[in-house]
Structure 1
């Protein structure tokens, strides 16, 4: 049985237009036979059954309960007992409204034409057959009008049959514009009532009164169309009505503008939520607002409570809105949407705070790591001096004294810069110094190592950020000297128009491809240290307007270069 119900529903999806056409054909035959006669009532029962199979409001495969079947039976009995031309007029108006609502759901001209023809038939049938029967004895109706309605239906229904063959489908079966259906029904009802009004007020005959009603309704619709669409200097009535319907009479758009403005100026998430809740508490019908954020344990409140409460929770924001009366579905949906948007702003502000804290911690960690690495280099320099003094054994006190006098001032200067950076990080750490003096100090600092030095350009007139070049040179030289095989290391300083460039090259083994790709982008594991020296040197170079890159990487030539950006 369930499979049969599903097959029936699937068949109705595709054969729905033909079922509707057959229902209207039965209605037309019932009108010809006489709707209130026994044969006419039997035909109308068949018409109602086909319309129920076609209608898009309830699924055709739905199983009816015993209560539903009882109500359905009572409705059929009532139709058989109390059917009248007035009830038939109301039924025709409702059916025309439903069919008219289908017009807006079909963009294809062929399908729209099918439903338009059916609406035209119902209009002619209601005004040419049903209304004259309803007015029998009250007004004189020309005999040609029912005759015209009888014969007019044949070409209209035949044309609809031709257009209706390709219509239907699973998607089109349930499509219905409810607002369009109501508008159709109201317009047709207005035409019928207008015709009655012109008949009894202006003492017109039925045909002339019907024409006057059609003209009046058409003029009103034309005027509505003119003021509905936007014109020059006029936004259109449609925009105002759409805003009214969407906002439900509440200051919805104004509240969203205020929250967006608050999100730009309020520094903390708590202040943003509180300011938004203060504006929400001033809404019409809102007595109080209670809320709790992720940062607070207790509920914060404004206003007073009532027995009508709307509980909402989005993300880390929990809100209770108390109203003077129960919230209707539309205001409740608006409040839910508003608080969802506020929760997104609140989450964005929390994320900004976390990112700010992480940025601060990252700056602290980078400064500490850079200073730690600098202290490590200084300790290694002091260790080399101590080794030189102890290894001499008093054989050459003059040489030892000269070595200490040459190295200790430079070590003291770098130690003082490192301590100043720890106490108070400043941009003066990267202030330029004479390039020639730095170059000579570098050679003196690494006098015990076997290095080849080359220089080019006017070093005497050039300047460079000493702290940056010290950090990069110490890292590159130590990494090169610690390679196995005691490679030859060459250091080159070039003074150009944009600034000084430093390169350190060795003839050892090439760096692995995967390691070289991430060498300056993130800290890497190292056998001789923490693996963050080159990473910190690269970040320091970036902050100073320089670029540290691996310029050459092959066996016998591994060259790093520090140069001005651009």
Structure 2
């Protein structure tokens, strides 16, 4: 319980980010201005400084637990370094702190300004306080030194007491901090060397170094951008980066072109894409294995990385050890190749399914046509068996059998030519009379007006109208009193045919989809309306459900441009 309470207090203290940062800088500043003979006070201040550094540090997450043993080891190592290096260790430590504070550039607003102020404080401590002690230099007059001393204390107090929310938001760019640390170290050493070799005052050498480096950056910024038709260094650098990526981009382009080739098989695509991959300078071999095959392309080496996805295992070999970046690069290559390969397999599967779907739809439609012919034949047989007038039966048989024979022949012709569209044409008035004759005696009212006797594809109209009429007649199984009306209107190449009944409406879940996809059905094959809609659309017509109310259900076949 006490341990938990102690950890909770430590966690609370770490949240005061700028308080810990300001106290850390203030204690270091006071330690640097103590006399050399007062070692106990200096050590105490540095120890307290190190404690506040641990509370502020951005390296280890505050949620992580650190053992006391680890802290003791860190403290002992720092103490030994300070004992052997003395102020030189303090100099290296300040450069390290400048890297951490300046590396906190990922924060924004006032926080960034406070971290910039902390970096300035550390730079002044290094250049104006520690350097004279290390090299026995007289840098500032006593009065100016006192002003700088109190100015740094005020700056530390600003960081400590700044009225800002005290929540931990330390975010450090370690690469940025490392570059600044090395740059500051080089700047610091260069200033000292210039001061000694040129025998000039340290502040002068510091100013000369700063002006030289600043001039170098100004010159670099001038030549970075292209001017007066001359390519800048920025363009040369971008070309260098592009040259690094070009082999990868070329491989991706070649692989995508292979994927677009519809005639190439998945295995041939895989072989060609891996052969292109082997042209990259760092790739020596590729081992591809799945559930069916195991193939090695190129040569095996002791350096490799593995990619696994969807029961596919790919191992890519290189001539040199792969770093983290190169492994990510290789994983991306394998992911792309696997994506293209699986898409090729799906494309082939889809083609097979499309072919099977076409065969199924053709067979289903022909089966539906045969079903309608059998129903017509069954109705004709029933009429013959129930009539008492042989002469009338003979006339009916003589009239209907040739029509049924022709329809059966047309269906067989479709099967032999493997097509689902007919090519038999007839005048619409003749077709309408034949339709009435086929449904004679089935209690269906036919009405309408035909003002223009145009040619129509009778297979299309037979398929659609028989589907409408048979769906309406199937409702009479549960309600024999249902009335069915078929009407036609034809004038100036405008054709409108409607089939209405007084039965139950189409379910709401089906009325928006029955012309677009195959739906399950308890009557028939559940494909009739879908096939009728597709067939009508191919021939310039469309199907609509005009009314869908109880007692008034109307289907319509009409020209698509209406």
TM bucket normalised to smaller = 0.7 to 0.9
Looking at structure 1, the residues matched to 445 and 64 of structure 2 have their Cα atoms a distance apart, in angstroms, of: 92
CA distance in 2, matches of 1:423, 1:279: 47
Q: Which residue of 2 aligns with 1:53?
A: 55
SS of match in other structure, 1:212? helix
2:59, 2:89 → 1: CA distance? 21
User: After superposition, what is the alpha-carbon deviation per residue over 1:437-477, rounded to whole angstroms, capped at 9, x for unaligned?
Assistant: 322221222233333322335331x2333222101211222
| Structure 2 partner of 1:469 | 461
How many Å separate the matches in 1 of 2:466 and 2:153?
100
Give the C-alpha shift of residue 299 in structure 1. 1.1
Q: Matched residues in 2 for 1:234 and 1:401: separation?
A: 102
**Contact 1:288 1:322 (8 Å CA) reproduced:** yes
Alignment of 1:94-173 (within 5 A): 94-102=96-104, 104-108=105-109, 110-136=110-136, 141-143=139-141, 146-147=145-146, 149-163=148-162, 165-166=163-164, 168-170=166-168, 172-173=169-170
CA contact 2:195–2:205 (8 Å) conserved in 1 = yes
CA separation of 1:321 and 1:517: change in aligned 2, threshold 3 A:
closer
Paired with 2:228 and 2:351, the residues of 1 have a C-alpha distance of 48
Q: TM-score when scaled to structure 2?
A: 0.87
| 1:292 equivalent in structure 2 | 289
2:29 matches 1:28? yes
Unaligned 5+ residue runs, structure 1? Answer: none
Q: Partners of 1:235 and 1:263 in 2: how far apart? A: 38
- Report whether the alignment pairs 1:415 with 2:416: no
Cα deviation code 1:42-73 (max 9, x no counterpart): 32222122212211112346444576356324
SS of 1:33's partner is: coil
Deviation at 1:17, TM superposition (A): 1.5
2:107 alignment partner, SS class: coil
CA offset at residue 282 of structure 1?
2.7
Measured in 1, the distance between the counterparts of 2:545 and 2:88 equals 93
Partner of residue 268, structure 2? 271
Determine the structure 2 residue equivalent to 1:90.
92
Task: Give the distance between the partners of 1:154 and 1:141, measured in 2 at CA.
Answer: 19
Question: Taking structure 1 as reference, are residues 8 and 244 closer, same or farther at Cα in structure 2, changes over 3 Å only?
Answer: farther
Q: Does 1:339 align with 2:341?
A: no
TM-score normalized by structure 1?
A: 0.86
Shift of 1:330: 1.5
Distance 1:374 1:562 in 2: 18
CA distance in 1 between counterparts of 2:296 and 2:20 reads 60
SS at match of 1:43: helix
How far residue 335 of structure 1 moved from its aligned partner, in angstroms, is 1.3
**1: distance between equivalents of 2:115 and 2:25?**
12
Q: Structure 1 residues 449 and 422, CA, compared in 2 at 3 Å: closer, same or farther?
A: same
What displacement does 1:424 show?
Answer: 2.6
Q: How far apart are residue 565 of structure 1 and its match?
A: 2.6
1:419–1:243 distance in 2 versus 1, CA, 3 Å: farther
Tell me, yes or no, if the aligned pair for 1:8 and 1:61 is still in contact at 8 Å.
no
Alpha-carbon shift at residue 377 of structure 1 (Å): 0.9
> Which residue of 2 is the match for residue 537 of structure 1?
532
Q: 1:253 offset after TM fit, Å?
A: 4.2
> What is residue 41 of structure 1 aligned with on the other side?
43
CA positional deviation for 1:374: 0.2
Kept in 2, the 8 Å contact 1:252–1:334? The answer is no
Matched with 2:212 is: 216
**TM-fit CA distance, 1:318:** 1.1
The answer to whether the Cα contact below 8 Å between 2:541 and 2:557 also exists between their aligned partners in 1 is yes
The answer to whether the 8 A contact 1:430-1:544 is kept is: no
- Structure 2 residue runs of 5 or longer lacking an equivalent are none
1:7 match: 8
Residue in structure 2 matched with residue 71 of structure 1 by the alignment? 73
The answer as to 2:303 corresponding to 1:308 is yes
In angstroms, what is the RMSD of aligned CA positions? 3.4
Q: Helix, strand or coil: the match of 2:103?
A: helix
Q: Which moved more, 1:476-485 or 1:423-432?
A: 423-432
Where in structure 2 are the equivalents of 1:542-557 lying within 5 Å?
A: 542-557=537-552
Give the drift of 1:88. 1.8
**Quick check: 1:195 aligned with 2:186?**
no
Do 2:450 and 2:489's aligned partners in 1 also have CA atoms closer than 8 Å? Answer: yes
- Deviation of 1:147 (Å): 4.8
What SS is found at the alignment partner of 1:429? coil
1:562 alignment partner, one of 547, 557, 561: 557
Who is 1:330 aligned against? 325
Change beyond 3 A, Cα 1:514–1:42: closer
CA contact (8 A) 1:547 1:562 kept: yes
Across the two proteins, how many residue pairs are aligned to each other?
553
Distance 1:410 1:35 in 2: 123
Q: C-alpha deviations, 1:305-343, integer Å up to 9, x for none?
A: 122232221224310112233321111122123322333
Task: Give deviations 1:458-506, integer Å, cap 9, x for gaps.
Answer: 331x233322210121122223234122433221122255642211122
Superposed displacement of residue 15, structure 1 = 0.7
Q: Aligned partners of 1:107, 1:210: CA distance in 2, in Å?
A: 30
Q: For 2:241 and 2:322, how far apart are their aligned partners in 1?
A: 16
